[in-house]
Amino acid sequence: MTLPEIFSGFVRPRASFEPAYLEAYRSGMLARKVEKALRMLRTCRVCPRYCDVDRTGGQLGVCASGRYADVASYFPHFGEEDCLRGWRGSGTVFFGRCNLKCVFCQNFEISRLNRGALPLRPEQLARVFLYLQERGCHNLNWVTPEHVVPQVLEALLLAVEEGLRLPIVYNTSAYDSMESLQLLDGVVDIYMPDFKYWDPEKARRYLKAPDYPEVARQAIREMYRQVGPLVVDEDGLALRGLLIRHLIMPGGLEDTRRILEWIAEELGPDTYVNLMDQYHPAGLVAQGRYPELKRPITDEEWAEAVAYARELGLWRLDRRWRPLQGLQWAG
């Protein structure tokens, strides 16, 4: 089979595409999902922490997020994968706070300190979504939305009524509850989870969530069930499907190997994977704690991760790789 024939199975004309949430809106399903989601806030089970607090009444759980979603920034983002950023950018909305407590978080000031973030009412958040569409962004990219699923659905309903038509990217740590993912079924077009660690002890130490690996596996399986492999349009822009990110960590190659093996065996070689090399000491690591993480990954670690992915048959690897002497890229 030739390369064009291989790729043809994952290309769809944009003219025949519409975001999944439009059918959900027309059928009334989206409105019903919003009602159910808002009820979840009263005894919060929006994420796997299952805090059971009443966020509508001012109680706060692990994420410290209340009735309204905190938004730190929103803009056309040109640092995402090529299939998302295109030439007009991915319309990213960075939500404040987080349900994980990653000690190395690259967005520590947003996720842990909530600096610069403001709570937005649903009509204000809907206007943010519409603004990004007006700027010409190729998609609407919700960054760290795990703890504010009810709020984004509430705003989405209002935005659709005002003409929103962008594909939705759900950009997550994969620490998502099944309850939230069921609400997102038929709404989200592109799931982009980051599978961080395989080892529960590392998840306990570095993410403060020992159940993270099992939750992530369950969540990613459900995401794949909903949207399948990544499909792009004629210009290579993502329309629908699953895109998995994995940030390679210092001394973490065993986790990388196990995660890649699971992807290849559980989801198949057609899964689109971004092996990310941009780790740098941040958050609590940059403050002098967790010294074993206070270095970038080496060229050898990077090359070994890529080579192993290829060995497993994972051929849809994101192509923005750094050049390494002597390393030949396939495709």
Check pLDDT > 50 for residue 80: yes
Residue 27 confidence (pLDDT)? 98
226-272 per-position pLDDT tens digit = 999 999 999 999 999 999 999 999 999 999 999 999 999 999 999 99
Check pLDDT > 60 for residue 151: yes
Q: What is the DSSP letter of 293?
A: G
Residue 328 confidence (pLDDT)? 39
The mean pLDDT of the chain is 94
Percent of the chain with pLDDT over 90: 92
Residue 277 confidence (pLDDT)? 95
111-140 per-position pLDDT tens digit = 988 888 999 999 999 999 999 999 999 999
- 143, HSE (Cβ side, Cα atoms, 13 Å): 21
Q: Long-range CB contacts (< 8 A, 24+ apart) of 251-257?
A: 251/292, 251/293, 252/197, 252/202, 253/301, 253/304, 253/305, 254/198, 254/199, 255/197, 255/198, 255/199, 255/202, 256/305, 256/308, 257/308
Check pLDDT > 50 for residue 2: no
Cα–Cα distance between 65 and 57 in angstroms, integer? 12
pTM of the predicted protein model: 0.94
Structure tokens at 103: 């000690």
Report which of 270, 295, 272 is spatially closest to residue 282, judged by C-alpha positions: 295
Check pLDDT > 80 for residue 76: yes
Confidence class for position 6, pLDDT limits 50, 70, 90: low
Contact between residue 248 and residue 275 where contact means Cβ atoms under 8 Å apart:
yes
When pLDDT is averaged across residues 60-89 and rounded to a whole number, the result is: 96
When pLDDT is averaged across residues 295-301 and rounded to a whole number, the result is: 96
Residue range 21-311, CATH number: 3.20.20.70
Residue 320 confidence (pLDDT)? 65
Confidence class for position 326, pLDDT limits 50, 70, 90: very low
Check pLDDT > 90 for residue 167: yes
Report which of 236, 305, 226, 233 is spatially closest to residue 267, judged by C-alpha positions: 226
Cα–Cα distance between 244 and 172 in angstroms, integer? 10
When pLDDT is averaged across residues 80-101 and rounded to a whole number, the result is: 97
Contact between residue 276 and residue 245 where contact means Cβ atoms under 8 Å apart:
yes
Residue 7 confidence (pLDDT)? 59
When pLDDT is averaged across residues 51-78 and rounded to a whole number, the result is: 96
| Per-domain residue ranges of the chain | 21-311
- DSSP string for 164-230: --PPEEEEE-S---HHHHHHHTTT-SEEEEB---S-HHHHHHHHS-TTHHHHHHHHHHHHHHHH-B-
173-211 per-position pLDDT tens digit = 999 999 999 999 999 999 999 999 999 999 999 999 999
Check pLDDT > 60 for residue 5: no
Cα–Cα distance between 241 and 235 in angstroms, integer? 16
Q: What is the DSSP letter of 103?
A: T
Q: How far is CA 235 from the centre of its chain?
A: 22
